[in-house]
Amino acid sequence: MLRIGMLTSGGDCQALNAAMRGVVKGLANSKQEIEVYGFMNGYKGLIYGDYRLLSKSEFSGILTKGGTILGSSRQPFKLMRVPDENGLDKVEAMKQTYYKLNLGCLVILGGNGTQKTANLLREEGLNVIHLPKTIDNDIYGTDVTFGFQSAINIATDAIDCIHTTAASHNRVFIVEVMGHKVGWLTLHAGIAGGADIILLPEIPYDIKKVAEAIEHRTQAGKGFTILAVAEGAISKEDAKLSKKELKKKREKSKYPSISYEIAAEIQAATGTEVRVTVPGHTQRGGSPTPYDRVLCTRLGAAAAQAILDKDFGNMVAMVNGETKRVPLESVAGKLKAVDPDSQIIKEIKQIGISFGD
């Protein structure tokens, strides 16, 4: 009997169910008898013993279903070693649940924080396999994370819709794109949506340069300008501040997010009307794109094979179009950010898109 546990942790995204389906279908074709326990709401379920035995049929018909059938929650890595309000040692509690159920392996689907905790559990002696999920695409050691392509579609749709209204009204529009501390999603949706200016956390902007780019378009007879702004975009001045100083400054800001601050600055500098659109969590919602369905089916099948091979302690990643087992210890805690000197940035500058730098 092979008994595995599965959990989805952190912010959800579109293809979590597709990935879990891939794992279970991949295992079902082996000769071994298999039991799958699902932990509810991420690590919370593992800590507090909230789980249930899942039937094979629960993994049927979920390839296209967004969200996660197991639920998810954020359990910050930095608090894992901190006892809960009742003094419970969370790491010990997770180990106890694992041993009580006599699990052979834990399949953990999540982003960077989730991966760090997966690595912690590996260090504590548990058999773990991590699958890289996040719309942010910021996991080091994999070419792509699942959810990313689906989120690009949604953010691109938002920019496409803004295009028609921006053109009618001769306005400047900002579409604020998710991505936490990195700009992958903004970069790709910005390019795909034909944004004129793209502001990323990795390339701090100068608001004068942003205003110049808008005025340049106006002088060229273009009545409107669209900016794709990452939620983590940062000005050159703010980039010089320490983490603490920046946090303090942002807390005092009257703007709900960076896009509103940029909008006010553009309005002041150019006299043009600016509107802000924030698609927010819609970017994590709905059905996964065909790309993500294929990606997750492959990652899931590869994870199943790793389980059958008893090869644990890895992230199952996509590297140069092939699935690959990447040791967690070599990637946990690292962030994959956009390289400002990369080819894609140079190419996009080449066609005249401004990064405000």
| Site residues (vs ligand F6P, CB under 6 A) | 11, 74, 111, 134-136, 178-180, 231, 284
User: Which one, 104 or 179, has the nearer CB to ligand F6P?
Assistant: 179
Give dist(CA 212, CA 354) in Å, integer.
Answer: 10
User: Which one, 104 or 232, has the nearer CB to ligand F6P?
Assistant: 232
Minimal distance in Å, beta carbon 181 to ligand F6P? 8
Closest CA to 307 of 15, 36, 8: 36
Minimal distance in Å, beta carbon 123 to ligand F6P? 24
Give dist(CA 23, CA 278) in Å, integer.
Answer: 35
3-state secondary structure at position 209: helix
3-state secondary structure at position 275: strand
3-state secondary structure at position 170: coil
User: Which one, 47 or 178, has the nearer CB to ligand F6P?
Assistant: 178
For the beta carbon of residue 342, count every other beta carbon within 10 angstroms.
12
**Cβ neighbours for 316, distance < 8 A, ≥ 6 positions apart:** 129, 130, 131, 132, 299, 302, 303, 306, 323, 324, 325, 326
User: Which one, 80 or 135, has the nearer CB to ligand F6P?
Assistant: 135
User: Which residue is closest to ligand F6P by CB?
Assistant: 178
Q: Using only C-alpha atoms, what is the Rg of the chain?
A: 22
Residue with tokens 């909230």: 50
Minimal distance in Å, beta carbon 75 to ligand F6P? 12
Pairing of strands 225-230, 274-277: unpaired
CA distances (Å), origin 15, targets 4, 8, 168: 20, 11, 36
Give dist(CA 37, CA 32) in Å, integer.
Answer: 16
Give dist(CA 132, CA 134) in Å, integer.
Answer: 7
User: Which one, 179 or 201, has the nearer CB to ligand F6P?
Assistant: 179
The question of whether 341 is a catalytic residue gets the answer no
Minimal distance in Å, beta carbon 119 to ligand F6P? 18
Catalytic pick among 12, 84, 136, 157: 136
CA distances (Å), origin 177, targets 73, 227, 356: 22, 10, 16
What are the start-end ranges of the E strands in the chain? 2-8, 34-39, 51-54, 105-110, 128-132, 172-177, 197-199, 225-230, 274-277, 314-319, 322-327
Minimal distance in Å, beta carbon 282 to ligand F6P? 11
User: Which one, 104 or 190, has the nearer CB to ligand F6P?
Assistant: 190
User: Which one, 137 or 225, has the nearer CB to ligand F6P?
Assistant: 137
Nearest 10 degrees: Cα torsion 96, 101, 105, 109: -80
Pairing of strands 51-54, 34-39: antiparallel
**Catalytic site residues?**
136
